[in-house]
Each structure stands twice: as structure tokens, then as C-alpha cells.
Amino acid sequence: MDTVEWRRVLWQKQPFPDNYVGDSFLRVSKKRRELCFSEALYGATFVTQEICSCIGLVVIFFGISEGNLNASVALILTATIGIIGYAVTRAQLAAFEKDDVKVACFYVVLIACVSPVVKSLTGSVATDSINASTTFLLLLRLIVHDYGTTVAIVNPTVSHNVGVFASVCLASRLDSDLDVFTLITVAVALFALFPSLRRYCSMHLGRGWDIITTALVVLITATGILHYASHLLLVFLLALFICNFIIPALFIFLQSYKQNIYGPWDEAQIENR
């Protein structure tokens, strides 16, 4: 019995009693995935796009509230891009077109009805409180948004709801029903429709499309900031620098200390067969 080494396997008969365990029973193996900086940068593109969506909503709010951006123009552009995105993602789902039209009509009627209520919703609340609440909600959206990873903190429902609620907080500071309707519509397009379009294009067009989309989104957001909210430029550049350089570099550095521990407490697996 001493010449035969005991193995922790279930599929092989061994010359040992059923209750026998060898010295290797409490073995621990440590594994980690080796990543390069380019892979970390690619993973950061999804976060960058979501940062641009959140800041883009704030930029559109400033443009409308200060009278530098016509709400009708923003609404027409949003509707046009939304229809194009719908045509791209739903081209093979013609059977669902009637239901989609019903949902769109219900949304238009609902938001049009509640816009007067939203406009006066936070009349007794200080502007500083609204700004702080909006900032917190948008940060929470960035934290719980689904970037394609299976972790416990991800919650697409909460991510979508807090994004729309942030737009409601901002819309309550606008002057007309059309402005309110436009801002909430833009929020739905940015936080519900745009992520679906990104995932669809990423699945069918590959990494090159993700990089092109990220560059285009960053360019559009930066242009909007320069025209309508130049005071957000420093925040935007700092967020991009942290997201695309500091965090990937820190992730690569800490990856070398990451260890996945396996032992007898794990489920039995067939190895080397």
C-alpha cells in the first residue's frame, strides 16, 4: 500500500479503504489568469461608453436649461437614432414589431402625461440636493451596470431605474413640458436602448467595432461638453484618465496577487482524463 500513491479521484478504483485519505487530501492549488495591458484597456471601453452616456445626459440637461440646445432638435435626433438602432437590432425579429410599437406608444403617452407632474416634482427641494442626488444615482448606475461580467453586484434593473430616476431629478428643474419629455426620452435611449445596441454590435461585429464606437462616443461627448457644459471638461478628462489608464494598470498590478484556492471543499471534478 505504501508503493501506491493515493489520488483524490472518484472515477478510479484504488487499493485503499473507503475512509482512507492520503497526505494530498488537504492540498491547495493556486491559479490566476495572466492578462496583458491591452486586454485590460479593451475591458475599460465598456465602462468608458457608460461614463459618456451619464455625462452626456448632464450635458444635454445644461444645453436645454440654458437655452443653448433646442429640445425639439434633441428629441428628433434621439428618435432618429433610436429608430435606426431598432432597425439594426430587430431586423430578424419581425414577429415582435407590433408589440414594440405598442410599447413605444405607451411610453410616449405615459411620459407626455407625467411631464407636467415631473416639472413641479421637486419644487420644494434645493438645487444642491438635486445635484447631489443626481451625481449619486449616476455613480450608482456605473457601479451596478452590466458590463458583460457575471458578478453579484451587477443588477441591470437597478442600473436602468437609477439612470431614469436621475433624469427625472434633472428634468424637474426644466421649464417646459417639452423639455422634460425630451430629457427623459434621451435618458431612456442612453440607458436602455444604447446598451442593447452596443451588445448586439459587439456580438456580431467584434472588438474592432467596440473600439470605433468608444472613440466615436468619446468624441461626441467631448464636443457636447465644449459647446454646452465646458465646466465639465476637467471632470470628463479625469474620469477617462482614471478609467482607461489608472484602473487597468492597477488591475494588472493586483492580478499578480490574485489567487483562486481549490481544495477538498470544492465539488468533485474529473481531472486529467
Give the number of other Cβ atoms within 10 Å of residue 188's Cβ.
19
Say if residues 57 and 41 touch (Cβ distance below 8 Å): no
pTM: 0.77
Distance CA 138, CA 214 (A): 19
- Provide the number of structural domains found in the chain: 2
Distance CA 163, CA 2 (A): 65
Whether 270 maps to a domain, the answer reads: no
Q: Among the three residues 164, 179, 202, which one is the final residue of a domain in this structure?
A: 202
Q: Among the three residues 174, 202, 230, which one is the final residue of a domain in this structure?
A: 202
pLDDT in tens, the chain (273 residues): 457 777 767 777 777 777 776 766 655 555 666 677 788 888 888 899 999 999 999 999 999 988 888 888 988 998 888 888 777 777 655 545 666 677 778 888 888 888 888 877 777 788 888 889 999 999 999 988 888 777 778 888 888 889 989 999 998 888 888 888 999 999 988 888 888 877 777 777 777 888 888 899 999 999 999 999 889 999 999 999 999 899 888 888 887 777 666 555 666 555 554
Whether 44 maps to a domain, the answer reads: no
Q: Among the three residues 182, 202, 222, which one is the final residue of a domain in this structure?
A: 202
Same-domain status, 181 and 220: no
- Residue 4 has, within 13 A of its CA and on its CB side, a CA count of 9
Residue 69 identity: L
Say if residues 179 and 64 touch (Cβ distance below 8 Å): yes
- Residue 172 has, within 13 A of its CA and on its CB side, a CA count of 20
Give the number of other Cβ atoms within 10 Å of residue 148's Cβ.
10
Same-domain status, 213 and 195: no
Distance CA 119, CA 73 (A): 20
Whether 137 maps to a domain, the answer reads: yes
Distance CA 171, CA 182 (A): 9
Domain with 197, as residue range(s), is 105-202
